[in-house]
């Protein structure tokens, strides 16, 4: 495993070398910012003509030249005002703007060869240390992420300390591209996004809607078995509700503009929790009823800028697998442990067994509640985590302003981490909504509240599932479990009877009766990643049987219909994720 700090320094330096190559190859290009990021680096450029893939090849070759020249990275200090004027004189307005926003009287400058940049550093000693790198792509980016500012071009790249690590990463990228859920969604006819409908608003096709229903049906049964009551709440609410919750004051940039109904402003909901608390408040609760567990597959709408929308992973309308638990303070540790185990159990059912777990603690400055309450809550959560037996890391200051939380990231088939489950303690909303219960002494007391999502949004989770399984979903999740394919018209009637019998046994099945060669049908259904094919010729018809093929071109031989149905039932149980 490479040293993370060394890799970050290398990648940040690679961004500088890339910028040097760009300004040398394309005079007049203005540079903006170029940080290292989790898997590489990028630099933003202001250039009239768009960069092409051929340009990336040229830039990469120029970077190799600069590396070979082995220029030292030399740091110097400069008066801030002098730096501002110097960048202005060169026409580097972005660097000038950055310098003008630095509070110190002096700024840090790094020079390597003919390229000078405003930067805190640190950097590698010289450009010759950059040996193993690759430029990956170009994307659009607004200056400072502000859509009202200049549109820039962002070139992404990556760099590693060893050739093997670079090759392994590029192989992983290639595999990730094959697994891209947007391509799979189109190839498998699951969903689409149409600009006539609106960016970030997903259209679920028949097979995609069926996949959603399978997940939702499992989710509902799982929650009822774990003591949750299911709720349904409206898609809009009075603006007053979001004033009480504080979303209107703190979350308005992600909320859509109000609509007026009978002279009263309403909002499309960005969160489900305010409505769940209003249900709780409809009657008085005793301590004997707690914990009260609410769950809803609630569709919410949040404004995301068009530049960050990405298939199912980043959308504007999505369904949260939302849950809220109202507990007495002394129940917090036990309930946190139950929710954690519930999350792990749910994720394992879908085939995820490797996790990164984080305890996110109180932010240093912006938080609500008393420090003593935070410490008590954090201690309860940490005690619960210790009892799980799982390793976890403490994310100091990573909690929300309203409470500490547990984040669970899952590792997919090619080693990528995805944030799905979150278990969030909340000091804020119980106070804002003034919720209470009657304690054992007959007095009103303030309960604690836990927000939790096991899968996150269903849209995003479907995207993660598709990429994890490369579209080849387990039998229990597959919208089509079996494709019947006849060799010719002589088997049509028999296949129709087989179709009905499979349906009667709750098998999701299609009958391919096209006048095509059987080899063509087999190839197409293999490409559609259907788990099983039942091939029928005269031999199978006469013997009241089927020739069974499993996904991956595996021939399972001849089976009676009853044996085939038994196989399907045995393999289509939630949690069985291999054929």
Q: Does 322 participate in catalysis according to the annotation?
A: yes
SS3 call for 260: strand
Residues whose CB is less than 8 angstroms from the CB of residue 20 and which lie 6 or more positions away in sequence, other chains included: 66, 112, 113, 114, 115
Task: Find tokens 């981490």 and name the residue.
Answer: 417
Taking the C-alpha atoms of residue 287 and residue 407, their distance in angstroms, rounded to an integer, is: 29
Q: Looking only at Cα atoms, what is the longest distance across the chain?
A: 92
Nearest-10 Cα torsion for 128, 131, 135, 141: -50
Residue burial 185-223, b: 16+ Cβ < 10 Å; e: rest = beebebbebeeeeeebebebbebbebbbebbeebbeebb
Taking the C-alpha atoms of residue 123 and residue 73, their distance in angstroms, rounded to an integer, is: 7
Domain boundaries, the chain: 4-172, 185-233+272-468, 234-271, 482-571
Residues whose CB is less than 8 angstroms from the CB of residue 310 and which lie 6 or more positions away in sequence, other chains included: none
Q: Does domain 482-571 have CATH number 3.90.79.10?
A: no
Catalytic residue among 55, 322, 407, 512: 322
Catalytic residue among 207, 212, 269, 302: 302
Catalytic residue among 207, 267, 320, 346: 320
The HSE-up count of residue 510 (CA atoms within 13 Å, CB side) is 15
Pairing of strands 437-438, 545-550: unpaired
**Among positive and negative, which fits the CA dihedral 429, 432, 437, 440?**
positive
Please provide residue 41's backbone torsions phi and psi, each rounded to the nearest 5 degrees. -160, 165
Q: Which CATH number fits domain 185-233+272-468: 3.30.930.10, 3.20.20.140, 3.40.190.10, 3.50.50.60?
A: 3.30.930.10
Tokens of 305: 């800028």
CA distances in angstroms from 4 to 35, 37, 102, listed in the order given? 15, 11, 27
Q: Does 451 participate in catalysis according to the annotation?
A: yes
Instruction: Say whether the peptide bond before residue 291 is cis (omega within 30 degrees of 0).
Output: yes
Tokens of 348: 């394992």
Catalytic residue among 405, 460, 508, 541: 405
Residues whose CB is less than 8 angstroms from the CB of residue 23 and which lie 6 or more positions away in sequence, other chains included: 29, 31, 115
Eight-state DSSP code of residue 72: B
| CATH for the stretch 4-172 | 3.30.980.10
- Residue numbers in the chain where pLDDT is lower than 70: 1-2
Please provide residue 265's backbone torsions phi and psi, each rounded to the nearest 5 degrees. -75, 135
Assign 3-state DSSP to the chain and report helix, strand, coil percentages, each to 5: 40, 30, 30
Could you give the strand order of the β-sheet that contains 106-112, starting from the edge strand earlier in sequence?
74-79, 106-112, 115-118
**What pLDDT, on the 0 to 100 scale, is given for residue 308?**
80
pLDDT tens digit string along 187-216?
999 999 999 999 999 999 999 999 999 999
For the chain, the C-alpha Rg in angstroms (whole number) is: 29
The HSE-up count of residue 273 (CA atoms within 13 Å, CB side) is 24
Tokens of 226: 């774990």
Catalytic residue among 451, 468, 525, 529: 451
Q: Does 302 participate in catalysis according to the annotation?
A: yes
Pairing of strands 40-46, 74-79: unpaired
Cα 350–chain centre separation:
16
């Amino acid at each position: 495993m490479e040293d993370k700090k060394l890799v970050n320094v290398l990648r940040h330096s690679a961004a500088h070398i890339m910028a040097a190559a760009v300004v040398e190859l394309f005079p007049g290009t203005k540079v903006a910012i170029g940080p290292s990021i989790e898997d590489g680096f990028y630099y933003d450029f202001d250039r009239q003509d768009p960069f092409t893939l051929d340009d990336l090849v040229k830039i990469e070759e120029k970077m190799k030249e600069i590396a070979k020249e082995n220029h030292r990275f030399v740091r110097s200090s400069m008066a801030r005002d002098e730096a501002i004027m110097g960048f202005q004189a060169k026409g580097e307005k972005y660097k000038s703007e950055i310098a003008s926003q630095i509070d110190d009287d002096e700024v840090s400058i790094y020079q390597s060869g003919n390229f000078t940049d405003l930067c805190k550093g640190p950097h590698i000693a010289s450009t010759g240390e950059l040996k193993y790198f690759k430029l990956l792509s170009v994307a659009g980016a607004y200056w400072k992420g502000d859509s009202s500012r200049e549109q820039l071009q962002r070139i992404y790249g990556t760099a590693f300390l060893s050739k093997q690590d670079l090759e392994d990463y590029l192989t992983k990228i290639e595999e990730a591209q094959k697994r891209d859920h947007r391509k799979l969604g189109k190839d498998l006819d699951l969903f689409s996004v149409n600009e006539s409908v609106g960016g970030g608003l997903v259209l679920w096709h028949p097979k995609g809607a069926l996949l959603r229903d399978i997940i939702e049906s499992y989710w509902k049964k799982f929650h009822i078995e774990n003591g949750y009551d299911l709720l349904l709440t409206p898609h809009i609410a009075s603006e007053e509700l979001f004033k009480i919750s504080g979303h209107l004051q703190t979350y308005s940039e992600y909320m859509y503009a109000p609509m007026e109904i009978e002279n009263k402003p309403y909002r499309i909901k960005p969160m489900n929790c305010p409505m769940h608390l209003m249900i709780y408040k409809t009657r008085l609760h005793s301590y004997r009823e707690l914990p009260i567990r609410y769950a809803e597959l609630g569709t919410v709408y949040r404004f995301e800028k068009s530049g960050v929308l990405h298939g199912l992973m980043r959308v504007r309308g999505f369904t949260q697998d939302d849950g809220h638990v109202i507990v007495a303070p002394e129940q917090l540790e036990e309930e946190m442990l139950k929710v954690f185990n519930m999350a792990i159990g749910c994720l394992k059912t879908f085939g995820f067994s490797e996790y990164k777990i984080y305890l996110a603690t109180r932010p240093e400055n912006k938080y609500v509640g008393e420090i003593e309450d935070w410490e008590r809550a954090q201690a309860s959560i940490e005690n619960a985590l210790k009892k799980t037996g799982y390793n976890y890391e403490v994310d100091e200051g990573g909690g929300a302003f309203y409470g500490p939380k547990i984040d669970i990231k899952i590792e997919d088939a090619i080693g990528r981490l995805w944030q799905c489950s979150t278990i969030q303690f909340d000091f804020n909303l119980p106070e804002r909504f003034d919720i209470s219960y009657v304690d054992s002494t007959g007095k009103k007391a303030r309960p604690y509240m836990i927000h939790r999502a096991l899968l996150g949004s269903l849209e995003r989770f479907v995207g993660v599932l598709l990429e994890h399984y490369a579209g080849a979903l387990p039998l229990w999740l597959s919208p089509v479990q079996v494709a019947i394919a006849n060799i010719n018209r002589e088997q049509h009637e028999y296949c129709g009877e087989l179709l009905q019998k499979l349906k009667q046994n709750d098998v999701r099945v299609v009958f391919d009766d096209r006048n095509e060669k059987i080899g063509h049908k087999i190839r197409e259904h293999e490409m559609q990643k259907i788990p099983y094919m039942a091939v029928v010729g005269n031999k199978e018809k006469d013997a009241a049987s089927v020739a069974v093929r499993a996904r991956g071109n595996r021939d399972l031989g001849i089976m009676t219909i009853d044996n085939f149905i038994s196989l399907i039932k045995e393999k289509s149980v939630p949690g069985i994720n291999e054929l």
